Amino acid sequence: MKGNWFFKAKIQAACGPRVGWGASNFDTFRAQAIEKIESLNLDLATDEHFGQAKDDIDTLKSFEKSLSEAEESMLKEMDSVYELIQGSRELKEMSATKRKALNTLVTNRQKEIKADLIETGFRSLVYSYPEFRVELEIAIKGKRSLAKMKEAIEDLVESENTKLAENRALIDDARNNHGESVVFGESDLMVMPTENLRPELERRVERHREAVERAKLKAEVEEARKKEKALRAQTEPKPEPVAQPAQPEPQAAIESQPLAAPQTPATWEQPVAVEYKIHSQEGDNASEEMAKFQNVLMLSFAPVKKARADLQHPENIEKAAAFAEVLGEAWRELIGMEA
How far, in Å, CA of 323 to CA of 299, rounded?
18
- Number of Cβ within 10 Å of residue 79's Cβ equals 7
| Residues 285, 287, 291: CA angle, nearest 5 degrees | 120
Query: When comparing pLDDT for 185 and 248, which is higher?
Result: 185
**Which of 39-48, 155-164, 171-180, 268-277 shows the lowest per-residue confidence on average (mean pLDDT)?**
268-277
Torsion 171-176-180-181 (CA) sign: negative
**Mean pLDDT of all residues belonging to the chain:** 79
How far, in Å, CA of 168 to CA of 127, rounded?
9
> What pLDDT score was predicted for residue 261?
45
Q: What is the pLDDT of residues 272-325, one digit of tens each?
A: 444 444 443 466 787 778 887 777 777 777 788 878 888 888 778 878 887 888
How far, in Å, CA of 120 to CA of 115, rounded?
9
How far, in Å, CA of 139 to CA of 143, rounded?
8
Predicted confidence (pLDDT) at residue 74 exceeds the cutoff of 70: yes
Closest Cα partner for 68 from 93, 42, 32, 35? 93
Q: Which of 150-159, 224-233, 258-267, 316-325 tops mean pLDDT?
A: 150-159
Predicted confidence (pLDDT) at residue 187 exceeds the cutoff of 80: yes
What's the pTM value of the predicted model, to 2 decimals? 0.45
Closest Cα partner for 153 from 135, 167, 165? 135
Predicted confidence (pLDDT) at residue 132 exceeds the cutoff of 60: yes
- Number of Cβ within 10 Å of residue 244's Cβ equals 7
DSSP string, 54-123: HHHHHHHHHHHHHHHHHHHHHHHH-S--HHHHHHHHHHHHHHHHHHHHHHHHHHHHHHHHHHHHHHHHHH
Let me know how long the chain is.
Answer: 339
Domain boundaries, the chain: 4-117, 256-335
